[in-house]
Amino acid sequence: MKVFLTGVSGQLGHDTVAELERRGIAYCGVSSAQLDITDREAVFTALRQYRPDAVIHCAAFTNVDQAEDDEEYCTAVNAYGTRTLAEACRELGAKLLYVSTDYVFSGEKNGPYEVDDPAGPLNVYGRTKFLGEQYVQELLSRYYIVRTSWLIGTRGKNFVKTILRLSEDHDTLRVVHDQFGSPTFTADLAPLLVDMITSDHFGVYHATNEGGCTWADLAEEICRIKERNTRIMPVTSAEYGAKAVRPGNSLLSKHSLDAAGFRRLPDWKTSLKHYLTTLNESAS
């Protein structure tokens, strides 16, 4: 099997490459410098050359607040870039795994979202990722759409790294407490993506670490494990004042994972401890 992978320089792409290597699966991974997915001709050329059996599409415009000011480019990457990849997969008969997001939902549901609950994105990023999903479903039958949330990897910036840095020299940190979701460690998610593409269980899935929390809960747990005395001051999203509106509840149900026989990811607190140990080890 040969796999083509976008977004290798990102958090999830980095760990997915590591997993493909661990399993001895042949792959070609590209960053935006090697292949800009908004360049339609370049995408077709690259895929026709490599002729993959499967494409894992991790690349995206992921800056949710910046997307509000840059809707055109965000749409070009997340929606049209995904459409181009789906068209190339259709031509080559390759499967496509598209990584999507909890932000396709409005957050108004009381309880975890099922895969077939209606979407209702609140921000530009969520709308463009949902458009990407629609193109994949229109163009292909052999696809996996994997909605995940609150990604945390060793590569790049993320919430855990920010709290670790700020808690070094801040007595108090203001953190949002009215958004409830699930942190997801990319080292847990990557093996599941590879399980999927080596199976023929196509469809829409939700995949996050088990359990849920608010951003403030997550910050508290980081400070507790790292024995930092920083006080976490819970604030509302309105008080925090981020540019993009985010869903208040983005818990995702795992029924579709269970039904297809895929294993669920570990509890987020267990994975957070493991992640913090890994960060320590890579720093020393």
Please give the Cα distance from 37 to 238 (Å, whole number). 35
Residue among 94 and 207 whose Cβ is closer to ligand NAP: 207
Q: Which of 98, 103, 113, 125 is catalytic?
A: 125
Note whether 137 and 115 are within 8 A (CB): no
For ligand NAP, the binding residue among 38, 134, 237, 253 (CB under 6 A) is 38
CA torsion, ordered 171, 174, 176, 181, to nearest 10 deg? -20
How many residues belong to the site for ligand NAP (CB under 6 A)?
Answer: 29
CB of 213 to ligand NAP, least distance (A): 14
Note whether 123 and 61 are within 8 A (CB): no
Within 10 angstroms of residue 165's Cβ, the number of other Cβ atoms is: 11
Note whether 113 and 251 are within 8 A (CB): yes
Select from 53, 11, 13 the least CA-distant residue to 35.
Answer: 13
Residue among 61 and 185 whose Cβ is closer to ligand NAP: 61
| Candidates 4-12, 160-168, 250-258, 265-273; binding stretch for ligand NAP (CB under 6 A) | 4-12
Q: Which residues contact 82 (CB under 8 A, 6 or more apart)?
A: 37, 57, 98, 131, 132, 135, 136
Asked whether position 70 contacts ligand NAP by CB under 6 A, the answer is no
Residue among 151 and 196 whose Cβ is closer to ligand NAP: 151
CB of 57 to ligand NAP, least distance (A): 7
Residue 240 annotated to the active site = no
Binding region for ligand NAP (CB under 6 A)? 6-7, 9-13, 31-33, 35-38, 58-62, 77, 81, 99, 101, 129, 148-151, 156
**What positions carry a catalytic annotation?**
125
